[in-house]
Structure 1
Amino acid sequence: MKNRSLTFKFTLMFAAFTIITLVISSLLSYANQTNLYKQQREESIRYVASYLEDVLTSDGEDFAWWQEYFLKNYKDLNIPHDFGPKEIQQARHKYEKLFSQNYPGIIPGIDIAFSELPKEIKTAYTIYKHEYYLYKFEQACKRFNLAYVEYIIPDVNTGRIMYALDAMRDEKIINGEKYIELGISVPHSPEEHKTEWEAWNSGIQPSGYDSFDNEYGKTYAYYMPLYIGTKKLGLIGVEVFISAVNKEILRATIRQMLMISGVLTLFMVFLLFLIRLRYIRKLIRLQHAIDEYSKSKKTEIAEQLLSDVTNKDEISTIMAKFAEMIFKLETYMKFLVKTRQDLQDTQKKVQEMSEDAVKDSLTGIRNKNGYDREVKHVEWEMSDGLQEIGLALIDLNSLKKINDTYGYDKGNEALISLCQIVCDTFDHSPVFRIDGDEFAAILKGHDFKHVDELVSKFKRQVKKAQGNQDLEDWKKISATIAYALFDPQIDTTFENIFKRAVEEMSKSKKTIKAPAKD
């Protein structure tokens, strides 16, 4: 009776624990999946908005011209309602043909301004670009399973917004032909579209989202101001479904909980009944043996278990296997120790190979591959709000002359000497050799704040080397340094910083060459 009573109580406790665990784990799983999905979708929204921003800003001033002409003439523009890549190419060819016929050998935007073009060419260009931009918006909407994407132009005075690019094409009929309804303007109150107006009025990306519950479902909308240069032109809007996914997560979690709990309950009842009926005594002996072995680690316990194996039932098999396990444990432990050591050796080799892939064999610093990896990491940090970031470029002057005069081995020595000066100067920043005679230092923290001092220090070190009579001629190096720091008003990616640093390097090179020409 005591054994049956104990088994019964254990069954109740196990069943209650199983049910509670299932319910709690299911609720936690639902909450975790919901939050994770929201985070993923929010990141997806930000990524899509940035992508669409790149699509529009890649044309630079051309996009500003397109918008200006669109706003003045959208009522007269007839853009086909149904078009795809083929029709976009046809629109482009039409524009290019008109331009080349009227302006042979002329480059648009360079030799002639958009405002100087005749209306026919402006209209052809605007239609082509509208189809191209709209197609990009629609493809992004489909690819990322979004509810809606748009490019809108708010009017603070009227409280209305105009849909310049609308991923949901509204149609109008002219002479039996379907065209896109352009320039749709609707009122958007600040109360219902708080984040939208915040993005427009502040000119920066807001941290929040507008929430809508309409015929398309419950969505969150994110807005990004679009700038061409320093001019704010409009807002990129991206909306994503949320409610339908949450409901599906809930239904799936409940179904999973019910199915697992049912299976576990049936299996538990059957298993406990079988154990109580046939195996409880041997299980107790096995439990005692396991407890004893966990304390003493004696092999005599295995011999005792083997003496209790009197038939071929399941518990007897387990006891025999456990005894066998004890006998083999010593061997297994030694094998595991050896395997662990082998794994550590392999990991060490893999790490060394990985380091070699980003290491410059001549100077020992990281190479262009290492620079590219670091840039990706920096861009992630910039997307999280990092602003104290910059780039210094250092170029060894006259490397070809050194190679031609003294040999390539002396040129290598000159590169190593310059690398040492760069590393000593920017000792708080990662330094890379990104080209044959070019080095780069990604400026952070101390080096970012003291960049002017460090540049002066670098120039002093180079000048000191040039005047050192104890050095060989090829080690009396001449180098040019230039840098650029992150400017939130003009920089959107690290590539922007790099381009400005290259421009500064070009200016410095010209300054060096100017006296020679005089």
Structure 2
Amino acid sequence: MKKRREKLLFKFAFIFTVFAMVAMFLGSIMTYISQTKSYHKAALENLRCICDYLEQLIQESGDDFVIYQKYYMEHFSEARIPFNFTEYHTAQRNYEKLLSEMGLKKDENTHFNFDSFTEEAKMAYFIYIHEYWLLTFENARKAFNLPYTYYLVPKEDIYNMVYMIDGERTPRGLNGQKSSKGPYLYLGDEYHDPYEKCPVQWDTWFTGEKQKKFQDWDNEWGKTYAFYVPLIIKGQKLGLIGAEFQVADVNREILRNAIVQTFGVGVVLIICIIILLIFINRNYIKKIVRLEANLIEYSEEKDPFIAQRIEAEIKGNDEIDSLSSQFASLILRIEDYIKSLLDTSQKLKASQARAEKMDALANRDALTGIRNKTAYDNEVRRLEWRIAEGNIDFGIAMIDLNFLKRINDTFGHEQGNTAIKKLCLLVCQVFKHSPVFRIGGDEFVVILEQTDYKDIDMLCMNFNIQIDALSKNEDLQPWEQVSAALGYALYDKNLDSSVQTVFRRADKAMYARKKEMKAIRSL
């Protein structure tokens, strides 16, 4: 008995230890998440402030910045700006000297017609202004302790971004290209940033409004979060002001703080667990051990008089004493319960088997063996629930067999059924990760989720290639040379209020494909 008591106590100790470890782990995660959210919120506000600051400076320059940007985009490859410049006054004096030679004098209230400048004066003005703004962005970056600040000019037709003011200076080699070293500053650095990779960046540009979230970058320059502000001067949208911060160092500090806090909580939990185990052993485990011994004896002897012994050992009125009393009553009725349970179990198994058989018949298509219209309606209800919950990504693909009526009229309904089954097999092979339903004589529906949802374009291309090969395969019987049109639509919460609207868009796409196939055949 002592050995069993020690074993039970060990189990309690193990459970409480696991509980403490899980609590510590979850606590550390919650602490980490909470601190991370707080920091990210503060960082977002910090980035917003620096972007607003730079935006205000640029807007105050007004038309001068518009002229500067226009000239930059047309002549940046011609500029020779020293890579290691630390001030812009030299370039400013050179510009003002050229103005003086042209008979012009620059002061705060004087505005010149830029188009009337000589080419040399225009370039001098450009170099001066670019050095001024680059130093302004770099100083702002240092003041706010950020790794990057920059100004982007989008080329939205090809989803490219030109880093017009780049906080990360890049040398220009003697060949005019980017280099690891060189005497001049490389300008016009351009990157392809597709929308799916940079949604926040492009949403800021297309909407002309600040977004409420970061753009997540993870590349050769490290993992950073970026925030963008659209630059609009006199109603003209010119570009994006961007700023980034690195999260790796901060996350490590947050993690260290969470671990230290978790360790302190763990020490307190361990002390409490030890005290609790001593109390449980003295007041509960001993009762459980005696009850265990009586139940083991009953299991071996099947002696109903053991119930009387259990009742005689009840000394208190706690839950274990109540449990002992219930066991005593249970022993007296256990034979009747076993017989009743066995009879009920047999009835339940029979009912379950009948229900499963009826469910399978109700939800399966008799011709193809796949799910039928009833199963599709059930799936629609499931998707409607998930749409209501607001967390779902799915799509619907519609496949319609072409010329089924002609096959039935020409070759007979048995051959028409063969064509249906052949198309069904192809659909199931292509969309092997999604449920396929036959909802009409020649119509199939695929609910796209998970892998098939992500790879739908590739799957559609694969289907069209295979269906084209089947329709042209002269080794097959005419009714086996099946032709079918496929169209699909992906759920968009901004367009679709229900599964039915997605279905209608998929059906429309399928009929568009059917017309396209007809046009190709006509050609």
**TM-score bin, normalised by smaller chain:** 0.3 to 0.5
TM-score (norm 1): 0.45
Tell me which structure has the larger Cα radius of gyration: 2
